[in-house]
Chains A and B, each alone.
Chain A
Amino acid sequence: MKSVWEFFNSLKLTVYLILAITGVTMAGSMVLYFRPEVFGDMDQDLLFHWLTTKGLLYPTYTWWLYLLVVLVVILGINTLVCTIERLPRLVRRYRDPLANLKDMEIGGDAGREFVLGDAPADALSGFLKGRGYQVFADGDRLYAEKNRWLPFIPYMVHAGIMVFMVGHLISGLYGYRHTGLNIIEGETVKSPAGDYFLRLDKVDVEYRPDGSLKNFGSKLTALKDGRVIKTGVATANKPMFVEGGAVYQRQFGQEFIGLVLQAEVKSAGFNNYIRVLKGASYVDIDNTGYRLSVDRFISDFAVDEHGDPYSQSEELANPAVLVTLYKAGRPRTSGWIFARMPLSDTFKDQDVGLKFADLDVRPSSTFDVNRDPSALLVLFASLMVMFGTITTLYFRRERVWATLDISGGRAQVICTDDELYERI
């Protein structure tokens, strides 16, 4: 047991582990880059779910991920053991600063000798205190330190890293990620997570004077059991938090709903617009006894080499609809009506005239709905790491050891701050 503990209580192990993680990540990044069919959907899933499902299907390409997890876990244990081993020692030294006198030999620096007059201890002590040092004297030996709390900061950083690992583990195990939830303005859909509904009230898109996109967002209402539980806006860098999860605005666009046709029925004196919804089966022409069936819709009409119509893209470049007119339940006329193509409509009827009037499109947004139960924990851990490293940039731990020759008025002084030699 002791040898296992000693194995993990090693700074060398830390360095070798990090070098191993570096190597594995380098190799893995290449596999990840050249095998998008394997790794492309990783971000849409929780890490450990992916590792235990899809990851296992491609061991030749995913081995490095499992190895990386193992190495990171060992590094976490290594960090924990080193912290447990060293932190109490540091606390003891903090409480008993004179124990630091043993460090005098560090670096083999002999220091410099100074003539300080009749009371060398007082003179040196007064000088150091004036420079922000805390001074501790023990007979003919003196120890002083500036920013005594600073050695604890690396432990804060290490603690942050360990908390981060735990947080990342939770993130990889729990929560959910749902992508590509498309909602049309005014529509209410069930959230892919949780038992609430989302209504898209409005899509807001803002452009700069030069026409470039400035911002886009969606006003959303979350409903549960028929009640509004939250209204908010999801926009770039600002998700809407609801029911423990968050709704992220991913894209915006125009969703095609259908076509607006101008219908004229001579026998009934009818002349008005009718809406032909995409996916609808029948449309009644009000009070005329006529009914239209929508047999086919093509967003970008073209004809192939056999003369069959097809859509050459997903864009609404040249929408066309094939309709059949019914009277008293019996088909009467059938034909295509085109929105843009410079072709004559093939729909021809003696009593009923149909012409394309407009596209019925509505704003829509696409959302991701995610939940990361440890996001706050990870944030807290990250801030610990960040503030820890920044703190050590601004503050320096400086130490001074001195051996005093009280009768001779001299002192042999070793400083970690070289500039101090010039100032004593």
Chain B
Amino acid sequence: MPDIELISFMAAFALSACAAASFLAGLGIKKKPLVFAAEALTFLYLAAMTVSLVVRTSKSGHAPMANRYESLACFAWSLGFVYWYVRIRYNEKRAGYFLMPLAVLVMYAAYISPHDITPMYPALDTWMFETHVGSAFIGYGFFGASFAGAVLYLVDRSEAGRHLEKLIFRTAYYGFALFSVSMVIGGIWAYLAWGTYWLWKVKELWSFLIWIYYAGFLHALYVKKMRGKGVAWLSILGFAITMFTYLGVGVLMKSTHQL
């Protein structure tokens, strides 16, 4: 019997690569058919990843967040999801220039990670874990969209205006709200599981860092001197912090949070 999960994952990997290539090709020559193709490929990529994750969930009996492969696959899915959210809500295609190449890298990292289904440790077998991780991933995706808006703002000065500022702010705010959900649910879960809502560990510190940084970022938008370029750079730095927290701390440092 064909392994639908693996086939759809591999298809999604290929589609993400094609979508990223189309976006980047369209960037230079600005040909509409290329961007249209990129969008279609991104849609197919999201659909294939959804199938892969749904099949894996039904096979394992738990949300696909128990190991590195699943974590990366979920994050890759969230990048596609956020692309389409931004596309529909803000009519902004260009977030794909950054989100899709990032999706390719994440998919590659997932591809080289062991695909085995690992059982869920009892403490992780709760809706709080899934909500905590799921909201964090989608939050990361939105921070990525804010980063994309910031880079566009800095690169294409002719476009620098209300639209991109709104995109940078609103997507960062979505990310912040979802990350707040992740932090709060994670705190409640930690209190019930380990007897404290806060642990002095590297991942916890960096998660706090993301939250407080974006809280500051949202305030910076109301400081006149920081608007425009300043906010764009802050968004870029924020996404760098986010990625380090997700990948850097998880890969380079031993942590109770694997990824």
A15 touches B223 (CB 8 A): yes
B246 on the A face (CB < 8 A):
no
Residues of chain A from 119 to 164 with CB closer than 8 A to chain B in the complex: none
Residues of chain B within 8 A of A18, CB atoms compared: 212-213, 215-216, 219
Q: Is B226's beta carbon under 8 Å from chain A?
A: yes
- Asked if A177 is at the interface (CB within 8 A of a chain B CB), the reply is yes
Is B222 a contact partner of A11 (Cβ separation < 8 A)?
Answer: yes
> B196 to chain A: which residues have CB within 8 Å?
43, 177, 370, 372
Interfacial residues of chain B within 149-195, with CB under 8 A of chain A in the complex = 173-174, 176-177, 180-181, 183-184, 187-189, 191-195
Chain B binding site: helix, strand, loop or mixed by DSSP?
Answer: helix
Q: Which residues of A contact B208 (CB under 8 A)?
A: 25
Which of A276-284, A337-345, A386-394 forms part of the interface with chain B?
A386-394
Q: Are B223 and A237 in contact (CB under 8 A)?
A: no
Bound Cα distance from A28 to B202, whole angstroms: 9
- Other-chain residue from B174, B189, B202 in contact with A393 (beta carbon distance below 8 A): B174
Contact call A215/B219, Cβ cutoff below 8 A: no
A372 to B198, CA, bound (A): 12
Given A375-B191, A393-B173, A22 and B202 touching (CB < 8 A)?
A: no
Indicate if the CB atoms of A21 and B192 lie closer than 8 Å. no
Nearest-Cβ distance from residue B15 to partner chain A, whole angstroms: 30
Pair B205/A25 contact, Cβ less than 8 Å: yes
Bound together, the chains give a CA A370 to CA B193 distance in angstroms of 12
| Nearest Cβ on chain B to A331's Cβ, whole angstroms | 50
Roughly how many angstroms separate A214 CA and B200 CA in the complex, as a whole number? 28
Residue in A closest to B119 when the chains form the complex, CB atoms: A212
Q: Kindly state whether residue B197 has any CB partner on chain A within 8 Å.
A: yes
* Interface pair A237/B200, CB less than 8 Å apart: no
A32 near B200 (CB under 8 angstroms)? Answer: yes
Minimum distance in angstroms from B117 CB to a CB of chain A? 10
Query: When chains A and B are docked, how far (Å) is the Cα of A214 from the Cα of B125?
Result: 9
A382 engages B187 (CB within 8 Å): yes
Residues of A within 8 Å of B189, CB to CB, are: 237
Residue in A closest to B121 when the chains form the complex, CB atoms = A213
Are the C-beta atoms of A236 and B193 separated by less than 8 Å?
A: yes
Q: Is the CB of A22 within 8 A of B213?
A: yes
CB-defined contacts of A208 to chain B, threshold 8 Å: 119
Decide yes or no whether B128 CB sits under 8 A from chain A. yes
Cβ of B125 and Cβ of A379 under 8 Å apart?
Answer: no
A297 to B199, CA, bound (A): 39
A61 within 8 A of B: no
Given contacts A15-B216, A25-B208, A32-B202, contact A390 B181 (CB under 8 A): yes
- Complex contact B197–A375 (CB within 8 A): yes
Asked if B126 CB lies within 8 Å of chain A CBs, one says: yes
Q: How far is the CA of A386 from the CA of B128 in the complex (A)?
A: 14
CB distance from A241 to the nearest CB of B (A): 11
Decide if B195 touches A214 in the complex (CB within 8 Å).
Answer: no
B11 within 8 A of A: no
A84 on the B face (CB < 8 A): no
Chain A CB within 8 A of B114 CB: no
Asked if B40 is at the interface of the complex by the 8 Å CB criterion, the answer is no
Q: Which of B177, B198, B226 has the most CB of A within 10 A?
A: B177
B44 within 8 Å of A (CB atoms): no
Contact A389 B176 (CB under 8 A): yes
State the main secondary structure of chain A at its contact with B.
helix
Interface pair A386/B122, CB less than 8 Å apart: no
Shortest B43–chain A CB gap in Å is: 24
Q: Quick check: A237 and B123 within 8 Å, CB to CB?
A: yes
Q: Are B193 and A210 in contact (CB under 8 A)?
A: no
Pick the contact of A237: B126, B216, B253 (CB < 8 A): B126
Nearest residue, chain B, Cβ from A385: B180
Which A residues lie within 8 Å of B47 (CB)? Answer: none
Cα(A112)–Cα(B227), bound, Å: 25
> What string of 1s and 0s marks CB contacts (under 8 Å) between B118-133 and chain A?
0101110110100000
A382 x B192 contact (CB < 8 A): no
| Min CB–CB distance A50 → chain B (angstroms) | 9
Q: How far is the CB of B92 from chain A (nearest CB, A)?
A: 14
Per the bound structure, the CA–CA distance linking A212 and B202 in Å amounts to: 29
Cβ–Cβ < 8 Å partners of A235 in chain B: 122
Say yes or no: A383 contacts B184, CB within 8 Å. Answer: yes
| In the complex, per-residue mask of B228-259: 1 if CB is within 8 Å of any chain A CB, else 0 | 00000000000001000000000001000000
- What is the bound-complex CA distance between A373 and B126, given in angstroms? 25
The reply to whether the CB of B55 lies closer than 8 angstroms to some CB of chain A is no
B206 close to chain A: CB less than 8 A: yes
Residues of chain B lying within 8 A (CB to CB) of residue A383: 184
A31-76 interface with B by 8 A CB criterion:
32-33, 39, 42-43
Interfacial chain B residues near A379, Cβ < 8 Å: 188, 191
B220 close to A (CB within 8 Å): yes
Contact A248 B195 (CB under 8 A): yes
- The answer on a CB contact under 8 Å between B184 and A385 is yes
Shortest Cβ distance from residue A259 to the other chain B in the assembled complex, whole angstroms:
32
- A208 CB to nearest chain B CB (Å): 6
Q: With A and B bound together, what is the CA distance between A216 and B123 in angstroms?
A: 10
Residues of B within 8 A of A (CB): 119, 121-123, 125-126, 128, 173-174, 176-177, 180-181, 183-184, 187-189, 191-202, 205-206, 208-209, 212-213, 215-216, 219-220, 222-223, 226, 241, 253
Q: Show 24 residue pairs from A and B whose CB-CB distance is below 8 angstroms, ordered by the A residue.
A: A11-B219, A11-B223, A14-B216, A15-B219, A15-B223, A22-B209, A25-B206, A25-B212, A210-B119, A213-B122, A214-B122, A235-B122, A236-B123, A236-B125, A237-B123, A237-B126, A237-B193, A248-B195, A382-B183, A383-B184, A389-B176, A390-B180, A392-B177, A393-B173
User: Contacts A18-B216, A19-B216, A39-B200 given; 10 further ones with Cβ under 8 A?
Assistant: A14-B219, A15-B216, A22-B216, A25-B212, A43-B196, A210-B119, A236-B122, A375-B191, A390-B180, A393-B177
What 3 A-B pairs come out closest when comparing CB atoms?
A18-B216, A212-B119, A370-B195
